[in-house]
A and B are shown apart, each in its own frame.
Chain A
């Protein structure tokens, strides 16, 4: 259902966007006969409704159409680039979890100390910094000044796994930086809030140590509100990687999307956007499932209806 709405939206939004793929291909002064021929070939001479139906019918067969610019099936193009984008996204996501959870916990524990306040202030800054700016900063420091890591020059996994990993470190950091800041702040606030709850007092009354209380009792509860923003984080990562991929010249979906848009390559643009939407929808679904897994109250509610 959601996916149907998404497909509808994607299709018509791109219909409205100005720019003509045929003209952008042939140039403004093209021969009208040639233009008409190409239009027919691409099916652009038909009314939008008809085209939408054609698109959806093809879609249901797993056919996303043919790219105008590359003259290749769209799914083949996506298939080539997807692994890189996925690798970047998963890598960024892991970075977010691995960095922000311990940092959030640490901050909650030391919320009153000077170090805690300082880092907390820095996270505020982290949210405000745009990811491309961060990317440039990282490149300057680690790539140019220190020379530890490659600044661009993507290395395919098959040729050199180690090189691939090295080439992914900086882009991953750039993509995840603002998300880390968001999650850290959220987790910290949520932890501090949960520490005041009555069940914490009960746990203390039992004689449990503060660490046990934190990890066994509080963390789960504090994680629930954080889960709800994880979906947003996912979107954040995907949009972030579109910019970052071109900054670091990684041949991923983001880069492909940029090329596609520049060339008014509608089938390709639609295909990529649809792909991203599917990923995001599943992301949200996963978050819901996870919340239900953690919280028995949500589980019971779902069972009710």
Chain B
């Protein structure tokens, strides 16, 4: 698919979060763009700001969290200049999001059917009549591998298993065949076979309906099989980005390298797993230029003064001493 029409462009956004009375940037000066039909993976340390980034694009940041600067262009329109009312026109179909906590993201007092029908009534007006709507919902639940879909529609969220709730959320946001899908860890509770089915479903949507995807996941396999491009986030900054294959098999940033090395497997049964020593610096102790420096085995005095971006083709990395890109087997 050769399309280069830009759908969404994020320019220098920063997101600040409150911590003991003051605001600190949890996402710092982030920029990237997505073309129509693109699929971009976002990986990185827990707490690095992946969810906040996605929520910022969707305009759904939590109450006390602020987007302190930057612009988000969608279809050439700057979303950050719009009022809440104007933004609503984009939600659900143009931009939609799957949230990380599927358990609390559904209303506990309403049936699954009711909550899904809401989307249908709002965005799929062409489907008329109760029976047709019902059919549509059942088909969409079957697509995400849910058994006995008719019963699922009657159930309340607490009557579903973790993975079933996650799939309901996915089915719900995909009902209107959205243009931009921001998926925050949508498959954590799914077994491999079901996961495969979901990935196939997303791929179909991409091919048939030009879905653009931002996929946040800790699951390297998922990112690898779905995303053309991958970005690695560390402490609120993109430290590495490029074609998925490049980034995941020839990582250049020391963090990415260490991250991919940590994978447990049966072959290494019981052996202590590799992990990145140390911790992400707390919000109030983040340091410029390089946040990874305190944990970095390759750090020199240069790293405390300045940081350079290094490019190799489309693959870019924010590090003074990029690794040669030795192959990692994951």
**Which B residues lie within 8 Å of A202 (CB)?**
99, 105-107, 169
Residue pair A201, B122 in contact (C-beta under 8 Å): no
Task: Return the contact of B109 from the options A209, A210, A221 (Cβ within 8 A).
Answer: A221
Q: Mark A284-301, 1 if CB is under 8 A from B, else 0.
A: 000000000011110010
Of the residues B84, B88, B108, B118, contact of A297 by C-beta under 8 Å: B108
Residue of B nearest to A196 (CB): B63
Asked if B79 is at the interface of the complex by the 8 Å CB criterion, the answer is no
Chain B minimum-CB-distance residue to A200: B107
Q: How many residues of A contact B (CB 8 A)?
A: 23
Given A204-B60, A217-B107, A297-B158, verify A198-B91 contact (CB < 8 Å). no
Do residues B60 and A207 form an inter-chain contact, with CB atoms below 8 A?
no
Within the complex, what minimum Cβ distance (angstroms) separates A221 from chain B?
6
Bound CA span A217–B114, Å: 11
Contact B109 A204 (CB under 8 A): no
Closest CB of chain A to B209's CB: distance in Å? 18
What secondary structure prevails in chain B residues at the interface with A? loop
- CA separation between A176 and B286, bound complex, in Å? 56
Q: Is B183 an interface residue (CB 8 A)?
A: no
Most buried by B among A196, A202, A210, A300: A202
User: A294 contacts B109, CB within 8 Å?
Assistant: yes
A203 CB–B CB distance under 8 Å: yes
A31–B321 Cα distance when bound, in Å, is: 113
Return A203 CB to nearest CB of chain B, in Å. Answer: 7
User: Is A282 interfacial (CB 8 A cutoff)?
Assistant: no
Tell whether, in the assembled complex, residue A217 and residue B110 are in contact, meaning their CB atoms are under 8 Å apart. Answer: yes
Contact of A207 among B62, B104, B122 (CB under 8 A): B122
Q: Which residues of B contact A205 (CB under 8 A)?
A: 58, 60, 91-92, 96-97, 99, 173
For chain B, residues 117 to 172, give those with C-beta under 8 angstroms from any C-beta of chain A.
118-119, 122-123, 156, 158-159, 169
CB distance from B166 to the nearest CB of A (A): 13
A296 to B159, CA, bound (A): 9
Chain B residue nearest to A194 in the complex (CB): B107
Closest to B116 in A: A206
Closest to B92 in A: A207
Distance of A230 Cα from B104 Cα, bound (Å): 27
In the bound complex, do residue A206 and residue B92 qualify as a contact, i.e. CB atoms below 8 Å apart? yes
Number of A-B contacts (CB under 8 A): 74
Within 8 A of B (CB), among A206-228: 206-210, 216-217, 220-221
Does the CB pair A206–B104 fall under 8 Å?
no
Residues of B within 8 A of A70 (CB): none
- Whether A204 lies near B105 (C-beta < 8 A) is no
Q: Does A305 contact B (CB under 8 A)?
A: no
With A199-B104, A202-B106, A221-B107 given, is the CB distance from A209 to B156 under 8 Å? no
Question: Known contacts A199-B107, A296-B109; is A206 also within 8 Å of B63 by CB?
Answer: no
How many angstroms from the CA of A207 to the CA of B179 in the assembled complex? 14
Q: Do A209 and B104 have beta carbons less than 8 Å apart?
A: no
Q: In this complex, what residue of B is CB-closest to A299? A: B156
Give Cα A197 to B119, complex, Å.
19
Please indicate the chain B residues that have their CB under 8 angstroms from the CB of A203 in the complex.
107, 118
* B173 nearest in chain A by CB position: A205
Residue on A nearest B59 in the bound complex, by CB: A204
Tell whether, in the assembled complex, residue B119 and residue A199 are in contact, meaning their CB atoms are under 8 Å apart: no
Query: Can you name the residue of chain B whose Cβ is closest to the Cβ of A199?
Result: B107
Contact residues in A for B169 (Cβ distance below 8 Å): 202
Question: A231 to chain B: closest CB distance in Å?
Answer: 21
A206 to chain B, nearest CB (A): 5
B156 and chain A: residue at smallest CB distance: A296
Q: CA of A198 to CA of B98 in the docked complex: distance in angstroms?
A: 12
Q: Are A295 and B109 in contact (CB under 8 A)?
A: yes
Quick one: which of A246-305 are within 8 Å of B by CB? 294-297, 300
Contact A204-B110, Cβ < 8 Å, known A297-B156, A297-B158, A300-B158: no
* Complex alpha-carbon distance, A202 and B105, angstroms: 6
- Determine the distance from Cα of A297 to Cα of B111 in the docked complex, in whole angstroms: 12
**B234 an interface residue at 8 Å Cβ cutoff?**
no
**Chain A residues closer than 8 Å to B92, beta-carbon distance:** 205-207
Contacts of A294 in B (CB 8 A): 109
* Cβ–Cβ contact A206 & B105, under 8 A: no
Say yes or no: is B93 at the interface (Cβ < 8 Å to chain A).
yes
Residue of A201, A205, A208 with most partner-chain B CB within 10 A: A205
Q: Compute how far the CA of A217 lies from the CA of B107 in the bound complex, rounded to whole angstroms.
A: 7
Q: How far is the CA of A298 from the CA of B108 in the complex (A)?
A: 11
Q: Are A206 and B109 in contact (CB under 8 A)?
A: no
Smallest CB-CB A-B distances: 9 pairs: A207-B92, A207-B91, A198-B104, A296-B156, A199-B107, A198-B105, A202-B105, A206-B92, A220-B109
* Residue ranges of B at the interface with A (Cβ–Cβ < 8 Å): 58, 60, 62-63, 84, 88-93, 96-97, 99, 101, 104-110, 118-119, 122-123, 156, 158-159, 169, 173
Q: Can you list 29 A-B pairs, Cβ within 8 angstroms, ordered by A?
A: A198-B99, A198-B104, A198-B105, A199-B105, A201-B105, A202-B99, A202-B105, A202-B106, A202-B169, A203-B118, A204-B60, A204-B91, A205-B60, A205-B91, A205-B96, A206-B92, A206-B119, A207-B92, A207-B93, A216-B118, A217-B107, A217-B110, A220-B110, A221-B109, A295-B109, A296-B108, A296-B109, A297-B108, A300-B159
